[in-house]
Structure 1
Amino acid sequence: MKPAARRETIVQLVDELGEVHVDALSEQFETSRETIRRDLNELDAAGLIRKFHGGARKASNGADTGLIEGPFDARMAMRTAEKAAIGRCAAGLFEEGAVIFVDTGSTTIAFARALARRRGLTVITNSPEIAGLLARPEGQHRLYLLGGEIAAEGRETLGALAIEQLRQFKAQHAVLTIGGMTRGEIMDFDLRETELARAMVARAGKVTVLADHSKLDQAGVFEVAELSQIDRLVTDREPPEEFAASLRAAGVEIIVADEA
């Protein structure tokens, strides 16, 4: 297993188990304890875990309390296989000629990578990275990048200027990433990101949410939209039955991506 894949799996194990130990990881990955310690040191430095003598546990940061998300680059490194699967699945939902709002997030960036293989779409986004991924001559996409205050380590534009420009458009679809989804709403952790997402929902005919399983049945801080405003959820695992029942009752179609 490549180091990046091993470290991603370690983060997932910490997230699921709460705590892992060097000896067990060394045995599981069939590698030396020293290699595992280097992995834990790098993951700790990135803020993804907290290392202790002999193992690691969940990072005790604001994201654990539901108050903030982790750094953007750290989120980009987590659950990459799941996000890639969600992105591929979601990209297949849109026909040539569709007009789509796309907000900024690690999962919508994965979606844009897959969407770049499609042709003839119109995309309005606040993400320079997403715009760059889609700006290939062979794709023949029409792209609009919203201006505004640059935020999230240069990954997105936000604020009143971005929203003012967005309101000049009307799209058939909005594709959103989220901080969390409860049984009544989708939520986020950043107020300005929430405001932009709300504006996209208001100006779109249909709303598709892209979220891996860790976001489901989890609250954020700010409400983006009620579940009744959401048309589709694309995720990587079947949600628990009670949660899935709440989504279906609100009229949300659940689409589970195939990781193959």
Structure 2
Amino acid sequence: MNPAKRQSDIINRIRQKDFVTVNELSKTLNISKETIRRDLTELARKGLVQKVHGGASLPAVAGEGPFRERMGKNAAAKIKIAEAAAELISPGETILIDTGSTTLYFAEKLTLIPKLTVVTNSTQIAKTISSEPSYSKVFLLGGEFYGDNRQTIGSIAIEQLKSFRAHHAILTIGALDTRTGIMDYSIEEAQLARAMVDQAESLTILVDSSKFNKIASFEVCNLSRITNLVCDIPPSAELKTELMKAKINIIVANL
């Protein structure tokens, strides 16, 4: 196992449990304790974990409030969705990524793909991409900073986004149904998502099944704009029929 993949697995284990011991990581990942300790030292240097006696936990600066709770919720499914989505990306491509717990997992998988250009409004995603020697470029959109989600939003971010063209837009969503398509609960996040859709050749949605057949306040785009939908559980027969009519590639991540 290469170091980047190994360290990604370590971070995922910590997120699922908040704290893990060196012994537990060694047994679970079948890696020596010495290697685990070296990896934790490196991850702590990057600010991705906090070393404590006998193990590691999430760093306080990256783990406060509701966003930390979303990172830990349904983590196993989100990790598998991220892994499946990363297989759609090729070296050298340009990718637009919005803020979300699943897209942060996805960004960690992107560190294994070289020479990407990543454009995002998430400071956490920008930090993740830039912390690994994958020879990728990352552009962080400016604008009003929203502290809980560690993201920029608003007209400045959207105007800067118009300077880019991308192979892929990778988005998380608030809800999805057959009538409206993709929706979000925040008008600012919906506006930025629409701008990303407009600037990309393809659109991939990362969604867990809890978002299916739900309604949120603000429309992002209809089903016809979606290229790929990556989910943890297959959609219901009715929803699947409409997705297939829209010629959407449905990818169910293996849990």
TM-score by length of 2: 0.73
Measured after TM superposition, the shift of residue 152 of structure 1 is: 4.5
Measured after TM superposition, the shift of residue 138 of structure 1 is: 2.2
Distance in 2 (alpha carbons) for counterparts of 1:136 and 1:153: 21
- Partner of residue 43, structure 2: none
Is contact 2:15–2:71 with CA below 8 Å preserved after alignment? no
- Partner of residue 245, structure 1: 241
Structure 1 residues 113-158: Cα deviation after superposition (integer angstroms, max 9, x where no partner): 1111211111100001001111135211111100111114151000
Structure 1 residues 164-217: Cα deviation after superposition (integer angstroms, max 9, x where no partner): 110111111100000011113100000000000000001111100000111111
Aligned-residue sequence identity (percent) comes to 43
Measured after TM superposition, the shift of residue 77 of structure 1 is: 2.1
- Partner of residue 133, structure 1: 128
Counterpart of 1:222 (choices 215, 218, 238) is 218
Structure 1 residues 220-247: Cα deviation after superposition (integer angstroms, max 9, x where no partner): 1110000001111000111111111111
Instruction: Could you tell me which runs of 5 or more consecutive residues in structure 2 were left unpaired when the two chains were aligned.
Output: 1-12, 19-64
Secondary structure, counterpart of 2:80 in structure 1: helix
Q: If you compute each CA radius of gyration, which structure gives the higher value, 1 or 2?
A: 1
- Residues 229, 154 of structure 1: alpha-carbon distance in 2 compared, 3 angstrom cutoff: closer
Distance in 2 (alpha carbons) for counterparts of 1:5 and 1:216: 24
Distance in 2 (alpha carbons) for counterparts of 1:154 and 1:195: 16
Q: Amino acid of the residue matched to residue 212 of structure 1?
A: D
Distance in 1 (alpha carbons) for counterparts of 2:101 and 2:251: 19
Secondary structure, counterpart of 1:101 in structure 2: strand
Q: Does 151-160 or 92-101 show the bigger shift?
A: 151-160
- Partner of residue 195, structure 1: 191
2:138 paired with 1:143? yes
Counterpart of 2:116 (choices 99, 116, 121) is 121
Counterpart of 1:235 (choices 231, 234, 251) is 231
Is contact 1:72–1:152 with CA below 8 Å preserved after alignment? no
Secondary structure, counterpart of 2:158 in structure 1: helix
Is contact 1:232–1:254 with CA below 8 Å preserved after alignment? yes
Q: Amino acid of the residue matched to residue 135 of structure 2?
A: Q
- Partner of residue 29, structure 2: none
Distance in 1 (alpha carbons) for counterparts of 2:147 and 2:205: 21
- Partner of residue 254, structure 1: 250
- Residues 91, 4 of structure 1: alpha-carbon distance in 2 compared, 3 angstrom cutoff: closer
Distance in 2 (alpha carbons) for counterparts of 1:224 and 1:71: 23
- Partner of residue 158, structure 2: 163
Counterpart of 1:110 (choices 105, 120, 123) is 105
Instruction: Could you tell me which runs of 5 or more consecutive residues in structure 1 were left unpaired when the two chains were aligned.
Output: 8-69
Distance in 1 (alpha carbons) for counterparts of 2:206 and 2:146: 21
Measured on the aligned residues, the alpha-carbon RMSD in Å equals 2.0
Distance in 1 (alpha carbons) for counterparts of 2:87 and 2:144: 32
Runs of 4+ in 1 over 2 A off after TM superposition: 2-7, 70-74
Secondary structure, counterpart of 1:130 in structure 2: helix
Secondary structure, counterpart of 2:142 in structure 1: coil
